[in-house]
Amino acid sequence: MDEEKKGVTRRNAVVGLACVAGSLGLGALATCLPADDVLRPPGGQDDARLLSLCVRCQRCFEACPRKAISPASIEEGFLNLRTPRMDFHSGWCDFCEEENDGHPRCVLTCPTGALRLDEGAKRRDVVIGKPLLTHDWCLAYRMTRCRDCYDACELDAITLDDAKRPHLDLEKCNGCGACEYVCPSMRAGSMVSGTAHRAIIIVNVDEAGEV
Amino acid sequence: MEKKKSYKPQSAGGAGSDAPAKKAKRASCKPQAAPVGEAASGGEPAASKEKRASYKPQPAAAGKPAADGEVPAPKAKRASYKPQPGEKRGGSLTKFRRALPALVLLVCAVAFVAMVPLGNISAFGWESISAICPMGALSSLLASKTLVPRVLISLVIALALILLFGRAFCSWICSVPFVERILGLRDGDCEGGRKAAAGKEKGSCSQGCSGCAKARGKAVDSRHFVLGGTLLSAAVFGFPVFCLICPIGLTFATIFLVLRLFGGSVSWALLVVPALLIAELFLARKWCHRICPLGALMSLVSKGNRTFVPTIDKDMCLEETRDAHCGRCHAACPEGIDLRNLAESPVAINECVKCRACVEACPAHAISVPFLPKAGASARQAHECEGVREDG
């Protein structure tokens, strides 16, 4: 009986070690694999904080009335898998101005507080991202007089020059994604790059600008 | 549910891989069951349901003459109770219990499509009120090393619910058994799956569900190490590690991603998420018994659970009243709990998932799941634990 018990405990110790090692290994693997900086919904700009609290419950995806939040895919890193990121192809973020008086529903719904805005935080103060304008793809730079992004921008972060071509005012932009959402370039009639690209997209702050 | 239907035809042959066949096998493998009575009645397709209904511990129940002297009459009669392939398993409550996880998935999917943010079982709720999965809540508290009021409140509510209902979540709501059934990794309530049911794995399921269940609940087992490991890992690496691979989360994520397909969103996650889910459940057979840290957490908290505990009414139990060997409740238990003798049960009562399989299995209807422990029941149980059951 004693030996049996010892065998059980030894086996238990091995199993236990394996389980703990596996759990730690999973954490290490997810941390070590390359992960992109993805654009987070309002209140999730501190990435480390968001990752530490997010339980990948999908509430924010559901809560977004414009479907502007989508789960991050594996391409953005194993660590980010199923965490929220902005998806401006299906909607853009006005901080639920129309739907909820400027209190984003994703922040309201987030059960763990991974998305959290300070009291009285204004839309202009929360920077989701900044725009990147690719002149080569922009229809306005082909003198088509497209001004969809200019019309869509509510924060006056896009100006038109004398030739009616858009230019960015990075200071004013908070990365709401309205410009990306409406940009027709590479969406209509483009089969080559699929529909993944736009002439104007929201990116991380350090990649923003005009090229 | 559909799965079960789909392999029904196989059982018509008698030796099929179906659940009823297995049940029959279980009955036949019981060494104490009267062999002659069994053989005599094995072939007759008699309405066994009626038999069960009529089978009450009444003194006039002496049906067939016992073959060997030491087998009392009631046993022969009981041994003759064999669920026929056509017979439906379980009552309406059992059917409801089996259907509930699918229903939960369906409701969440419909709510998602209808843009009614109800959440899912990782965090179910409305607007700012959510019941978060206690595992996720604990991990996020440890990973962020901050006390978030919402998380704490959720955690307290979850713990209170576990204290009240024990591990009922596991058999009534959790989507993992449902997914395992779809994947053919689980047959009915029995982890181990079709392979075991088909008898390819020699010796398995000879004792019913309890045959697959290893000793758990009394000491720490692998699930507890996974629980401790993932919580430690969350604290070390700063994110809720288990949430990354939680099969419940992955199930809902799969549904969610498929529904998003209609919105035109395609990504590799659509392949990776279900692949991860299937790989986990295939590689770690008996996920619930071996890996699930949520189950481990619940079983730890369930040690304080005193409500809805299945209890044998000693005055009706055949083992007590007729001195017979029955053991149906033990054999039926997917967790392997021996209700008759909790002190020697391989699995402790805090592992009970409140599935009522024992209630359904008891031929004498002696088992109930009362809200509060019945007066005197604990004394009876104590007596049972001490008393050595005499053989006939």
Judge if A107 and A136 occupy the same domain.
no
CATH number of the structural domain spanning residue A92? 3.30.70.20
pLDDT category of residue B390 using cuts at 50, 70 and 90: very low
Would an 8 Å CB–CB cutoff place A32 in contact with chain B? Answer: no
- Give me the mean pLDDT over the B161-181 stretch: 91
Would an 8 Å CB–CB cutoff place B143 in contact with chain A? Answer: yes
Would an 8 Å CB–CB cutoff place B123 in contact with chain A? Answer: yes
Domain end call among A75, A107, A126? A126
- For residue B68, the model assigns a pLDDT of 43
Alpha-carbon dihedral B270, B276, B278, B280, rounded to 10 degrees: -170
Judge if A44 and A83 occupy the same domain.
yes
- For residue B50, the model assigns a pLDDT of 41
Judge if A76 and A96 occupy the same domain.
yes
- A80 is a domain residue: yes
In this complex, the residue of A19, A55, A87 whose CB is nearest that of residue B222 is: A19
- A77 is a domain residue: yes
Q: Say how many CA atoms lie within 13 Å of A132 toward its Cβ.
A: 14
Minimal CA separation from B364 to chain A, in Å: 36
Question: Which residues of chain A does B154 touch, with a Cβ-Cβ cutoff of 8 Å?
Answer: 111
Least confident of A182-196, B33-47, B138-152, B297-311: B33-47
- A28 is a domain residue: no
Judge if A188 and A143 occupy the same domain.
yes
Would an 8 Å CB–CB cutoff place A40 in contact with chain B? Answer: no
The predicted-structure confidence for B356-375, as pLDDT tens digits, reads as follows 889 988 888 889 888 887 75
Distance of alpha carbon B307 from alpha carbon B257, whole angstroms: 39
- Give me the mean pLDDT over the A74-103 stretch: 87
- For residue B212, the model assigns a pLDDT of 60
Q: Which domain holds residue A166?
A: 129-211
Binary contact (A30, B239; C-beta < 8 A)? yes
Strands A166-168 and A158-160: antiparallel
Would an 8 Å CB–CB cutoff place B251 in contact with chain A? Answer: no
Judge if A142 and A60 occupy the same domain.
no
Binary contact (B268, A26; C-beta < 8 A)? no
Q: What is the percentage of chain A residues whose pLDDT exceeds 90?
A: 9
- Give me the mean pLDDT over the B112-141 stretch: 84
Minimal CA separation from B190 to chain A, in Å: 23
Higher per-residue confidence, B161 vs B24: B161
Q: What are the domain boundaries of chain B?
A: 92-303, 304-386
Mutate to test the interface with A, among B241, B251, B255, B260 (most CBs of A within 10 A): B241
Least confident of A1-5, B74-78, B260-264, B290-294: B74-78
Higher per-residue confidence, A137 vs B166: B166
Find, among B231, B220, B224, the residue nearest to B135 by Cα: B231
Question: Which residues of chain B does A58 touch, with a Cβ-Cβ cutoff of 8 Å?
Answer: 119-120, 122, 252-253, 256
Binary contact (B253, A12; C-beta < 8 A)? no
Q: Which region holds residue B133: left if phi is over 0, alpha if psi is between -120 and 50, else beta?
A: beta
The predicted-structure confidence for B233-245, as pLDDT tens digits, reads as follows 999 999 999 999 9
Mutate to test the interface with A, among B237, B259, B276 (most CBs of A within 10 A): B237
Minimal CA separation from B240 to chain A, in Å: 6
Find, among B43, B49, B335, the residue nearest to B216 by Cα: B335
Strands A209-210 and A130-133: parallel
Domain end call among A91, A110, A126? A126
Judge if A156 and A89 occupy the same domain.
no
Question: Which residues of chain A does B139 touch, with a Cβ-Cβ cutoff of 8 Å?
Answer: 55
Judge if A205 and A167 occupy the same domain.
yes
Minimal CA separation from A171 to chain B, in Å: 31
DSSP state of B216: B
Average pLDDT of chain A, as a whole number: 84
Binary contact (A30, B241; C-beta < 8 A)? yes
* H-only helix segments in B114-188: 134-144, 149-165, 168-172, 176-182
Binary contact (B140, A54; C-beta < 8 A)? yes
Would an 8 Å CB–CB cutoff place A58 in contact with chain B? Answer: yes
The predicted-structure confidence for B70-114, as pLDDT tens digits, reads as follows 444 444 444 434 444 444 455 788 888 888 999 999 998 888 888
- For residue B251, the model assigns a pLDDT of 93
- A21 is a domain residue: no
- Give me the mean pLDDT over the A170-175 stretch: 88
Residue A159 has pLDDT above 70, yes or no: yes
- A200 is a domain residue: yes
Average pLDDT of chain B, as a whole number: 72
- For residue B174, the model assigns a pLDDT of 92
CA B78-B79-B81 angle, to 5 degrees, is 70
Given 3-state DSSP classes, what are the helix, strand and coil percentages for chain A, each rounded to the nearest 5?
35, 10, 55
Judge if A74 and A145 occupy the same domain.
no
Question: Which residues of chain B does A59 touch, with a Cβ-Cβ cutoff of 8 Å?
Answer: 117, 119, 123, 125, 130
> Starting from the edge strand earliest in sequence, which strands make up the sheet with B119-120, in order?
B119-120, B123-126, B129-132
Strands B119-120 and B123-126: antiparallel
Would an 8 Å CB–CB cutoff place B248 in contact with chain A? Answer: no
Binary contact (B150, A113; C-beta < 8 A)? yes
8 Å CB contact between A105 and A22: no
Domain end call among A72, A99, A126? A126
Closest chain A residue by Cα to residue B235: A52
- Give me the mean pLDDT over the A66-74 stretch: 87
pLDDT category of residue B24 using cuts at 50, 70 and 90: very low
Distance of alpha carbon B242 from alpha carbon A55, whole angstroms: 9
Interface of A with B in 108-147 (CB under 8 A): 108-109, 111-114
Q: State the total domains in chain A.
A: 2
Would an 8 Å CB–CB cutoff place B139 in contact with chain A? Answer: yes
The predicted-structure confidence for A6-29, as pLDDT tens digits, reads as follows 556 787 788 888 889 989 999 999
Binary contact (A27, B239; C-beta < 8 A)? yes
Judge if A88 and A134 occupy the same domain.
no
Mutate to test the interface with A, among B155, B224, B232, B239 (most CBs of A within 10 A): B239
Looking at the domain B304-386, which fold is it?
A: Alpha-Beta Plaits (3.30.70)
Binary contact (A58, B120; C-beta < 8 A)? yes
Residue B53 has pLDDT above 60, yes or no: no
- A172 is a domain residue: yes
Question: Which residues of chain A does B228 touch, with a Cβ-Cβ cutoff of 8 Å?
Answer: 19-20
- A41 is a domain residue: yes
- For residue B66, the model assigns a pLDDT of 39
Q: What is the percentage of chain B residues whose pLDDT exceeds 70?
A: 64
Residue B208 has pLDDT above 80, yes or no: no
- Give me the mean pLDDT over the B35-47 stretch: 39
- For residue B115, the model assigns a pLDDT of 81
Judge if A154 and A189 occupy the same domain.
yes
Q: Say how many CA atoms lie within 13 Å of B252 toward its Cβ.
A: 35
Would an 8 Å CB–CB cutoff place A7 in contact with chain B? Answer: no
Higher per-residue confidence, A171 vs B197: A171
Judge if A42 and A111 occupy the same domain.
yes
* Chains A & B: contacts with CB separation below 8 Å: 184
- A11 is a domain residue: no
Higher per-residue confidence, A46 vs B65: A46
Least confident of A166-180, B47-61, B180-194, B208-222: B47-61
Judge if A101 and A141 occupy the same domain.
no
Q: Which two tokens stand for residue B164?
A: 């009240």
